[in-house]
Structure 1
Amino acid sequence: MPLDQQTVARVLGVDVPPLPAPIVAVTHDSRAVVPGGAFVAINGFTSRGADFVPQALEKGAALIVAEEPADGAPTAVVPSDRVALAALATELAGHPSHDLTVYGITGTNGKTTSSYVLHAILSAAYGEQATGLMTTAEIIVGSEHEAAIRTTGEATQVQANLARMRDAGVQHVVLETSSHGIHLHRVDGTRYAAALFTNLTRDHLDLHGTMEDYYLTKRRLFEWTAGPKLANVDDDWGRRLVGEIEGSLGFGTADDAAYRISGERTEGTSTVFELDTPGHGRLTLTIPLLGDYNVHNVAGAAGIALEMGMPPETLVSAVREMAQVPGRFERVPAAVDRGFEVVVDYAHTDVGLRLVLEVAREVAAGGRLICVYGAAGARDAAKRPKMGAVASELADSAIVTTDDAYHEDPQQIADEVFAGADPANTQVVLDRRAAIAAALAEARPGDVVVVAGKGHERVQHLPTGDVPFHDVTVVTELLQA
């Protein structure tokens, strides 16, 4: 609903210049300003919000919100531009999370898979139309699916999507909550009913600087959440989290885990395991996913569902019927007729790549394991040689290629990855499509090809600009050709 001057002042906590009319919208993108809207001049990593104030005024902005006065513009000066953006977005949307049950999932690896698992469980229990999902891969509102822009969108997007879900009759929302989303105040104003922590490994140190700061950022989700909180106690950071946040429960294979995993075994293309629970005894869960890390992803989501009151029989049925998760050990059907497997996965760190390749090695059995991978630009460069070492260790043949280079030189990134690899089983093919084609040409019946790094994403960010690229589509096209 539109916000009058008194409401805007209350929400921002500062003096607001006279407004000609109530504020009808808020944005940080000067191109998206509407007449009568507020423009929050956010200072980004490479730009100053003040530089876009003239464009916002031309588009009809009635109020500028910034950390310093804007010359010749009606400005509300605030301590934090991002906090202000979230506060206005939440107020304009009518605090939608207060009318929803929001489940937050955070961690380095497994967030998206755990989010899809929990969404599948909730859909089975409450119906598809009553559930929503916001992840790295996509946004789901009931039966409507759309591609996501980033793991956790800006505050305006988060609150608008929550409001859209509320208005569509959704009751339960799974919100993949990244450290960027927390650190940059994108989820401020969101009321979480439950929270899940998967693990913490080296990533995003370009933003956080240290692992300690990275952890403390993730921990804030548990600090915000009054309801059930589960953390993976097989992970040292998760164990620390359970010890530090009152009311948190652990899941994992550890003897002291409240939700304890045991008896894991592979049956065809499924995994079966036992889950000891605090209130429902031992459950046998069969999931259409492979790998120890996926057992943990399901166990955590299952624990949250049970803590929120779901009947165990509903849970058991729901996890058995789950679909593939886009870009997470996603098997490409077009490869089956060739007698080998092609798996697309989002793994983009040395830890994530190791987990995926270990599972792929099991699937390959007596066949060879071929890996196409790369490292992103404008990110923590220290992980690049580590990724090279992991691929050389676990794959029979590895091809280093271009991921999202952003503004960096793809050759320089590849050289840094190759520095940690074994030259005896590694080659560099910078063009991603050509690299995938080389891997497919090398594959024989019984082999497994892993294409890692991009997963579900449909755009490749290069120094020359963005180009459409979707690994599953490219693999399918190459196999059909």
Structure 2
Amino acid sequence: MSRPRAPRGHRPKTLAEVASFLGAAPPPGQPGPGDGPVVTGLHHDSRRVGPGDLWLALPGAGRHGAGFAPAALARGAVAAVSDRPCPGLTTLLVSDPRARAGPLADWLYDHPSAELDVIGVTGTNGKTSTTHLLHAGAAAAAAGALGAGGRPAGLLSGVVTRGPGVDRPAVLTTAEAADLQRDLAVFRDAGVATAALEVSSHALALHRVDGTRFRAAVFTNLAADHLDLHRDMDGYFEAKARLFEPGRCALAVVSVDDRWGHRLARRVADDGRVPLVTTSARGQPADWTATRVEATATGTRFRLRGPTADRAVHLRLLGAHQADNALSALAALAATGADLDAAVLGVERLALVPGRMEVVDAGQPFLALVDFAHNAHGVERALAHLRTLTAGRLHVVVGQRGGRDPGKPGPLGAAVGRLADVVVVTDEGAHDQDPALLRALVAAGARSGGRAVVREVPDRADAFAAAVAGARPGDVVVVLGRGAGREMTTGTRTDGFDDRVALRAALVAARGPVLRPASAASATARRRPAAPRPGSGPPP
């Protein structure tokens, strides 16, 4: 496993200084804080440790990191930080190493987020798209204000980490604390001005963003998801609300289009210590609004209104929900002082958010897409838009990843069953659960949701082939659930699987001489949109 790029702009710390910062017992034989081994970096993955690094041995769900101490030692770790001794390594003992990781990494790398405008995005749906829109707008605003040589922007999303000298796929929605602070330090050293950061509820609950200073924090929405970790919606909300606490966040940008956004906005306003900006794309009173939203086969248009704007915005991204996401991004950028006209141009130029309403075109005479929608709320938003583009039948491939809250598969299937004509239920990576049971739960939900034809095809590639084989001109085929994910795990086995690649392969295999090559956009543009089926409108 290759080591990520290391920051160079911070002062190395001695191991004795690290112990003093942590309040841990000093390493044996160290004469003072200024002497002894020098620590230059911090890692939680023993495979990425190098000479001069401190290693975080964290407790895990299955086993403790301390079991990997020999690997960290062999790769040159100076010492370990853990809640238990690590064989062969000097160990700085702390009671909760995960909670200490963020502040430690922030201090070790000389507080990188203090020198960046970090804008965090949290919520259930729309986080990734909003983060990419923020990045596009920030980059354009910097270039517009300072010319082509302006300070660059950084992106840390659930899909990719990207900035000067950094471009790699994301492993987690929000990186572990040591990785996050290292990336922010690399951005700082490269002169980045603004970093857009996707913040999951797991990251907030598990302390991954502790130590990060947010110039602004954005809330998109809240819907049932991740209740395996948070137990109930109130617990889920409280995890999200941590991002907007005084001392962590300097500005709150909150969509008030659902009751959770209203609740968060009231809390922030009542506290009074964090300035509040509200947004709405659903007709609620707010500081910034998106009106006259029009979603077509080629993009999304809306009217942006706010304290400093009243103008049209034309997105290349598909789906009415992208107006919500762009609104949040532009409001945050405007509130943090960006040039709004340049930021609008940036979001208008963004052609793709990987795995989010991503068109897969192999010359077929129908529209085929991959989308990350993986809960009932997200599915309703995605399929409501696709119904308006469907002159024929809407074919949906859907599954349920294992290791999620047990109440999720039924409502997910029901949402698909209400809006689709044909549902193909397949495996999505069962992890340690029974894949047949997961399929059965989703299929039962789909059958309860409407009159859709429902079938089960366990193998995911075979399911794509089945959906494509049944599609005709004027139809739409969409694969839901994994988006831009590149791996799928069942039991102890993890295989590479990219829905976009696999769907393209199915389309190519099905293509014959009777299919006239046509781009997906032109194919849909030639159709007269059908009226949505009952219940296919936007969620309340």
Distance 2:332 2:507 in 1: 40
Q: Which amino acid aligns with 1:119?
A: H
Distance 1:292 1:298 in 2: 10
Q: Is 1:416 aligned to residue 416 of structure 2?
A: no
> For 1:345, which of 342, 351, 371 is the aligned residue?
371
SS of the aligned residue for 1:420 comes to helix
CA drift at 1:89: 2.2
Q: Check conservation: 1:277, 1:283, Cα contact below 8 A.
A: no
Q: Check conservation: 1:196, 1:300, Cα contact below 8 A.
A: yes
CA drift at 1:472: 1.1
Q: Check conservation: 2:279, 2:288, Cα contact below 8 A.
A: yes
Q: Check conservation: 1:129, 1:143, Cα contact below 8 A.
A: no
Q: Which amino acid aligns with 2:369?
A: V
Q: Which amino acid aligns with 1:151?
A: T
CA drift at 1:132: 0.9
> For 1:262, which of 291, 310, 313 is the aligned residue?
291
Distance 1:51 1:473 in 2: 37
The verdict on how the C-alpha distance between 1:471 and 1:268 changes in structure 2, with shifts beyond 3 A counting, is: closer
Find the counterpart in structure 1 of residue 235 from structure 2. 213
Find the counterpart in structure 2 of residue 373 from structure 1. 398
SS of the aligned residue for 1:430 comes to coil
SS of the aligned residue for 1:370 comes to strand
CA drift at 1:23: 2.4
CA drift at 1:322: 1.9
Distance 2:309 2:239 in 1: 34
SS of the aligned residue for 2:338 comes to coil
Q: Check conservation: 1:130, 1:142, Cα contact below 8 A.
A: yes
Q: Check conservation: 1:194, 1:225, Cα contact below 8 A.
A: no
Please identify, of 79-88 and 234-243, the stretch whose mean Cα deviation from structure 2 is larger: 79-88
Distance 1:32 1:287 in 2: 40
Q: Is 1:277 aligned to residue 310 of structure 2?
A: no
Find the counterpart in structure 2 of residue 28 from structure 1. 44
CA drift at 1:115: 0.6
The aligned runs of 1:243-392 (5 Å cut-off) are 243-245=266-268, 246=272, 247-252=275-280, 253-266=282-295, 269-278=298-307, 280-334=308-362, 337-364=363-390, 366-392=391-417
Q: Check conservation: 1:41, 1:49, Cα contact below 8 A.
A: yes
Find the counterpart in structure 2 of residue 237 from structure 1. 260
Please identify, of 183-192 and 87-96, the stretch whose mean Cα deviation from structure 2 is larger: 87-96
The verdict on how the C-alpha distance between 1:426 and 1:222 changes in structure 2, with shifts beyond 3 A counting, is: same
Find the counterpart in structure 2 of residue 196 from structure 1. 218
SS of the aligned residue for 1:85 comes to helix
- String of CA shifts for 1:105-146, please: whole Å, max 9, x gaps: 111100000011111111211138601101111111148532
Find the counterpart in structure 2 of residue 437 from structure 1. 465
Q: Check conservation: 1:11, 1:87, Cα contact below 8 A.
A: no
The alignment covers a number of residue pairs equal to: 477
- String of CA shifts for 1:405-441, please: whole Å, max 9, x gaps: 1122211211121221218611111100000011011
Find the counterpart in structure 2 of residue 67 from structure 1. 83
Q: Which amino acid aligns with 1:466?
A: T
CA drift at 1:55: 4.3
Q: Which amino acid aligns with 1:413?
A: L
The aligned runs of 1:116-265 (5 Å cut-off) are 116-127=132-143, 130-142=152-164, 145-223=167-245, 224-245=247-268, 246=272, 247-252=275-280, 253-265=282-294
Q: Check conservation: 1:27, 1:85, Cα contact below 8 A.
A: no
Q: Check conservation: 1:140, 1:146, Cα contact below 8 A.
A: yes
- String of CA shifts for 1:323-351, please: whole Å, max 9, x gaps: 111100111122xx321001100111111
CA drift at 1:373: 0.8
Residue segments in structure 2 that go unaligned for 5+ positions in a row: 1-10, 31-35, 144-149, 510-540
The root-mean-square deviation of aligned C-alpha atoms, in Å, is 2.1
Q: Check conservation: 1:195, 1:225, Cα contact below 8 A.
A: no
Residue segments in structure 1 that go unaligned for 5+ positions in a row: none
Distance 2:389 2:165 in 1: 33
Distance 1:315 1:57 in 2: 47
The verdict on how the C-alpha distance between 1:5 and 1:411 changes in structure 2, with shifts beyond 3 A counting, is: same
Q: Which amino acid aligns with 1:261?
A: A
> For 1:2, which of 12, 20, 30 is the aligned residue?
12
SS of the aligned residue for 2:446 comes to coil
- String of CA shifts for 1:227-267, please: whole Å, max 9, x gaps: 33211101111111111013222111344211122222246
**TM-score of the aligned structures, taking structure 2 as reference length:** 0.84
**TM-score of the aligned structures, taking structure 1 as reference length:** 0.94
